[in-house]
Structure 1
């Protein structure tokens, strides 16, 4: 660890996904790097987001498997949820990955600086009085949980995802305010653990940025699981009671529960860090950048949740690598954000890449589409999951989007990403042989149907 300052080819403020990816790639390219972090290496994704939430979701899957074991002819029973044991498992996963990342960064000769940094010039960051000069500066300070005006988090009855990850019990009932990725995933976990869950979403559908047909399939699956939801109705007010919380919706309907999770999105961490003073353009707290992720000021770049792109760890990785290669003069290809794979890890999962039918229509693109029901897929029936694969292609042109719902469909998104990013025609994908029985066959079946040669498809 360094506290003495110095001069580097690249000084990075924030060691989350985007920051540490840039540090590693820049080091590989022979650049000297200082990586500044006030909390823990790995940032939100490793410690408070992607990894711990997926550990909870897997614990929930194990609970569901035990609860439903008789469906598969296995005699087992669910005795209960030991949250202390769940957290021990979750923390072991996070701790192992954190130690591995720390060792990896050190092995690359990256100077790691502990402390809260502040941009104090167009080529310097100051940490605890020590100045770190950089030929290039990368801002990667990430994001934090948002709330709504007049809705104050108390950390006990009205909580954010931070407290939800550390909850020492399974609540009897929960209201989840927000039906996006974070809200849907926690709703799925708590329902698997046995809680009564109600999601409140102001927009007409859950996971509203996804293909509408995917949202409807998720809603149907959640209804079957006993997860309640109020859609298209904004929250109006909330009050705490002796037994928990009471939330009033616009129109007067009230919903009561033991806990309220506020999951209305995440906002950038940018206030008080010297960005505006350096002349960096900001909008709603987000740093504005060009197609090369440059701020327009000096040699200052920004990546990750700090800029108004997709708030996904793998986007941060890609942006960090892009900046490192850009400053090294490698002329990397600009990121196509439509081609970024997206997964909601609920039960069932929602996965997608490319554009939706609505976006295609807005862009004036004539399309042809096919929906393949997982009811015709052998492996999906073995897994006892329902859902579908929807493929959207330009008329007489390449695949524009793939949208899926079902258990474990997130594992299919990489092939879908290749199909989209290589601008494959449905007829080209239809030639590929998918192993049987796998869920990947559903992708093949959908493309075969679009190519005019459907196989396991009912009229």
Structure 2
């Protein structure tokens, strides 16, 4: 949909209009702020240079997970005989995959447009710049707000001397590929790199992941990282861990990546997946007194910047760069502006999911972090192997549930690896958030046969009465 058509569907601001809440950025944090503030009776405008929904809807969470589902279907077709189903896998039609992905995004985008329209949120199209503690300028036109919310999101990072272009891609370009490469190097073993490596491996690509740290998904519990590495190697994904990028060249034959160890890797494409940085440059923030730390906006416990009534949400605020975190922060800010005194967001209870094959899901602290905080003798852990779970056996997945608790105290971490475990983390979030004891959870009956039952079995084990525990 072109920009003019979008404008016709939205409430458009007249130049010089003043609002109760003026939001810069229409991603997860920005539109959540707008929708909740409008719901609370405040007048709201969102300044957006591209499309509502931001990175998550258009270049991140949704299109990536659509590709991951297509990858899962490809794997199911390959493995069909294992289940007694006669099917054939004839390859990947990227035009068809992209049409499916774009259809998912389009449907959600239309739904978001409808929500914004129903709440009478005003849209200002164009690149905005903060020009005062209560003002944003767009294409030379000034708009004011009693409260201003910065929600400009993030963009892919690169490394010094590593230029994007040609055969060197970020996730933005990778989502728009119109073909399946024969081989690919993924630089970065975090969430984005692991997810693309998983997608491409399922599509038949020869994939190598390069990670400077010793493990994949290094922010996760060490046992989860090691399980991921075993699973990826079993899938024939090559891993180069603990080795840093040094240089890259490209020609008609492909990309040629040199590592600090002296090793040289060759492939059709190089995906640079070394994280995302805050999109705050050139927005006039520092000129108005907003404090930046390595590009991130410094805020207090109420997400206020300390400059007038200027707030910040989402990926530009230091911490987890997750769409659901930005969404929650947007609701918090809107309610704070409306005087509702909302409860501050506890970052330790925000769930994290990597949607690869296998999936990783976690909430709370890792075993290492718990031992650092509470002492080695004050921490207990248990791992429940999915080999003992009926539904996991049916699905053909391996992995485990790992629980971390303070000795004689509450559970402080839930960590899982295996197919579909992202769907289980909601219960883990409640357990950690409500500081539940293993004895509290072990008395609850979990449905059989479900993967959710694995959580119940893990808590039985941690409560001292394991029934199906596997070493």
TM-score range (shorter-chain normalised) is over 0.9
1:21 match: 32
Equivalents in 1 of 2:265, 2:226: separation in Å? 23
Contact 2:207 2:237 in 1 (8 A): yes
2:334 match: 324
- 1:56 CA displacement: 0.2
2:183 match: 173
Contact 1:2 1:114 in 2 (8 A): no
The correspondence of residues 356-367 of structure 1 with structure 2, limited to 5 A, is 356-365=366-375, 366-367=378-379
- 1:364 CA displacement: 2.5
| Runs (4+) off by over 6 Å | none
- 1:128 CA displacement: 1.8
TM-score (ref. length: structure 2): 0.96
- Pick one of 453, 456, 462 that aligns with 1:450: 462
CA RMSD of aligned residues (A): 0.8
Equivalents in 1 of 2:318, 2:454: separation in Å? 34
- Pick one of 314, 318, 331 that aligns with 1:304: 314
- Pick one of 136, 145, 148 that aligns with 1:137: 148
- Pick one of 371, 379, 387 that aligns with 2:399: 387
Equivalents in 1 of 2:187, 2:288: separation in Å? 37
1:147 match: 158
Contact 1:3 1:130 in 2 (8 A): no
SS of the residue corresponding to residue 319 of structure 2 reads coil
Equivalents in 1 of 2:114, 2:143: separation in Å? 22
Equivalents in 1 of 2:88, 2:275: separation in Å? 37
Contact 2:374 2:406 in 1 (8 A): no
- Pick one of 414, 422, 425 that aligns with 1:413: 425
Equivalents in 2 of 1:200, 1:308: separation in Å? 26
The correspondence of residues 414-429 of structure 1 with structure 2, limited to 5 A, is 414-429=426-441
Equivalents in 2 of 1:338, 1:95: separation in Å? 33
1:430 is the counterpart of 2:446:
no
- 1:4 CA displacement: 2.0
Equivalents in 1 of 2:418, 2:122: separation in Å? 44
2:8 match: none
1:258 match: 268
- Pick one of 274, 278, 281 that aligns with 1:271: 281
TM-score (ref. length: structure 1): 0.99
SS of the residue corresponding to residue 402 of structure 2 reads strand
SS of the residue corresponding to residue 424 of structure 2 reads helix
1:33 match: 44
Equivalents in 1 of 2:409, 2:211: separation in Å? 36
- 1:3 CA displacement: 4.8
1:196 match: 206
Deviations 1:380-401 (A, max 9, x none): 0100000000000110011100
Equivalents in 2 of 1:299, 1:190: separation in Å? 46
Equivalents in 1 of 2:235, 2:243: separation in Å? 22
2:92 match: 81
1:63 match: 74
- Pick one of 12, 19, 42 that aligns with 2:23: 12
Equivalents in 2 of 1:63, 1:46: separation in Å? 23
Equivalents in 2 of 1:17, 1:416: separation in Å? 23
| Structure 1: tracts of 5 or more residues without a match | none
Equivalents in 2 of 1:185, 1:45: separation in Å? 15
Equivalents in 1 of 2:310, 2:460: separation in Å? 48
Equivalents in 2 of 1:135, 1:116: separation in Å? 20
Equivalents in 2 of 1:241, 1:15: separation in Å? 39
Equivalents in 2 of 1:390, 1:264: separation in Å? 27
SS of the residue corresponding to residue 161 of structure 2 reads coil
Deviations 1:234-264 (A, max 9, x none): 1111111321111111120111100000000
- 1:2 CA displacement: 2.5
Equivalents in 2 of 1:251, 1:414: separation in Å? 42
Contact 2:189 2:211 in 1 (8 A): yes
- 1:7 CA displacement: 0.7
Contact 1:233 1:250 in 2 (8 A): yes
The correspondence of residues 317-356 of structure 1 with structure 2, limited to 5 A, is 317-356=327-366
2:4 match: none
SS of the residue corresponding to residue 118 of structure 1 reads strand
Equivalents in 2 of 1:442, 1:403: separation in Å? 12
| Structure 2: tracts of 5 or more residues without a match | 1-11
**Structure 1 stretch displaced more, 323-332 or 52-61:** 323-332
Contact 1:389 1:446 in 2 (8 A): yes
Equivalents in 2 of 1:357, 1:326: separation in Å? 35
SS of the residue corresponding to residue 32 of structure 2 reads helix
